[in-house]
Amino acid sequence: MVRYSFLSLLRNALSYHENWPQAWRSPEPKPSYEVVIVGGGGHGLATAYYLAKEHGITDVAVIERGWIGGGNTGRNTTIVRSNYLWDESAALYEHALKLWEGLSQELNYNVMFSQRGVMNLAHNQHDLRETARRVNANRLNGIDSEMLTASQVKAFCPVIDLRAGGRYPVLGASLQRRGGTARHDAVAWGYARGADARGVDIIQNCPVTGFIIENGRVQGVETAKGPIRARKVGIVAAGHSSVLAEMAGFRLPLQILPLQALVSEPVKPIIDCVVMSGAVHAYVSQSDKGELVIGAGVDHYVGYGQRGSLMVTEETLAAICELFPLFRRMRMLRQWGGIVDTCPDASPILSKTPVEGLYINCGWGTGGFKATPGSGHVFAHTIAQDRPHALNAAFSIDRYQTGYLIDEHGAAAVAH
C-alpha cells in the first residue's frame, strides 16, 4: 500500500497523476477462507479491517453483490452523532464516535469527518421534555450534549425560522458539538484499502445465493462465482438481511423499508451545522460541494426498490420550507432511496445466530452510517472470539425472546 502524504502527492503530480496504484486489488475468490463477510458496505469492510488489524485474522474475503459502498453506505445523509438515550446504545454509538475522531489518521485516508455540531429540534412541550431527558441521559453517560433555548438555536443556526410559518415553531433543541458529517464513500474506500493492504480479498459483483451448512455449522457460502468454503461467516447485508437469513434457515425481527434522501443544486456556504427534526421528518446539512443534503422519513411498506415515494418527499420538503423559508426557491438535483432494515426497538442486532459459526450484524435501520467504525470493531471481536464484545452483548437476537428491548425510536430521529 502506498502511503498517502504530501510527498506522495507531490511525486505523483510530477507524472500528471497517471501512476497512482489501485487502492485495492480485485482478486478472484480462493476456494476457502477462514472468515467470509457477506456484504461490502461500510460495516462489512470495517469488520474485515478490524479482523485483520485487531485479531490477526487476515485470511478473509468480503463478498459484495454489487460494488463496495453502493448500498446504504453511499445513500445515507452522512450524519454522525452518539446522543442515544439508553446506556447500551450510548456506549455503542459513543465507541463509534471516538473511532471516527481518529479515523482519517488511522486509515491514512481522508474521510472528511467534520464535527460541525448536530442539533435535534424540539417543536412542542413534549419534545422539550423528551429532549431534556435525552440530554441528561447523555451527560450521565459522559457524552457531550447540551440543551439550547430558542434564541440559542437561532444564534447557532441563523438561517432557521423559529416561527416556522406557525406550523413547526422551534422551542429549543439538543446540540451535540462533537457530532457532524463524514464523506460516506471515503469511509468504504478507506476501510477497503486498509483491509486489502492487510491481505483481505474484496470480491465485487458476486451475489451470495446460499449457505453451506453441515450438522448445524456453517461451512461456507454458495455464490455466483461458485462455492467458497469458510470456517466462519458474517452477514452484514442491511436491506437484504432477511433474504440471507431465510437462506440460512432462521428468522429476523426486521421490516425492510425504503428510506429516501435528496440533494439540491450547489450553493455558497449557508448552513454550517446539521439540523434534524424527528417530529417533522426532515434533516438537513450542506455538503462540501455546496449541495443541501436533505433526508426524509421512511415509506411505511416493505420495499426493495431503492426508491422512495413522492408523497414522503413532499412532506419532507414542506417541513424544510417552513423551517428554512430561504430555501423555498432552490431546485433539487437528485432524489434516491436506500432500503433499511428496521428493528421493532430501533436498535441493531450484532449477534451470533442459531447456526454455529454464522454471525449477523443488521437492524441498523435509518441510522447505521454513524456507527460504521464501532459496528465493525465490535462485530470483528464477536466473530474472532465467538462471543460478543462487552459493548454489543445486549444487542443479541435473543432480546426478542427475553424482552430486553432497547427502545431508541426517540433518538433514531427518523420517523418509522
Partner 1 sequence: MLLIDCPYCGPRAELEFSYGGEAHIVRPKDPEALSDAEWGDYLFMRKNTKGVFLERWCHSHGCRRWFNVARDTVTYEILAVYEMGSEPPALPERNLV
Distance CA 379, CA 383 (A): 6
Q: How far is the CB of 256 from partner 1 (least distance, A)?
A: 4
Binding residues among 189-248 for partner 1 as defined by CB under 8 A: 207, 209, 240, 242-243, 246
Nearer to partner 1, 300 or 328 (CB): 300
Q: Is residue 303 involved in binding partner 1 (CB under 8 A)?
A: yes
Nearer to partner 1, 20 or 404 (CB): 404
Q: Are 382 and 353 in contact (CB under 8 A)?
A: no
Binding residue (CB under 8 A) for partner 1 from 1, 9, 140, 310:
310
Distance CA 39, CA 48 (A): 10
Q: Are 131 and 120 in contact (CB under 8 A)?
A: yes
Q: Are 217 and 356 in contact (CB under 8 A)?
A: yes
Q: How far is the CB of 280 from partner 1 (least distance, A)?
A: 17
Task: Return the ∠ at Cα 11 (arms to 8 and 13), rounded to 5°.
Answer: 105
Q: Is residue 305 involved in binding partner 1 (CB under 8 A)?
A: yes
Q: How far is the CB of 255 from partner 1 (least distance, A)?
A: 6
Nearer to partner 1, 82 or 396 (CB): 396
Q: Is residue 253 involved in binding partner 1 (CB under 8 A)?
A: yes
Helix axes 42-55, 372-385, angle to 10 degrees: 50
Which contiguous run of DSSP H or E holds residue 96?
helix 87-101
Q: Is residue 300 involved in binding partner 1 (CB under 8 A)?
A: yes
Of the candidates 72, 15, 97, 92, the one whose C-alpha atom is nearest the C-alpha of residue 260 is 72
Q: Is residue 336 involved in binding partner 1 (CB under 8 A)?
A: no
Distance CA 10, CA 253 (A): 52
Distances (CA, A) of 101 to 135, 179, 367: 21, 10, 18
Binding residue (CB under 8 A) for partner 1 from 97, 118, 256, 275:
256
Count the residues of the shown chain that bind partner 1, applying the rule CB under 8 A: 25
Q: Which stretch binds partner 1 (CB under 8 A): 109-117, 170-178, 212-220, 298-306?
A: 298-306
User: Which parts of this chain interact with partner 1 (CB under 8 A)?
Assistant: 207, 209, 240, 242-243, 246, 251-256, 300-305, 309-311, 344, 400-402
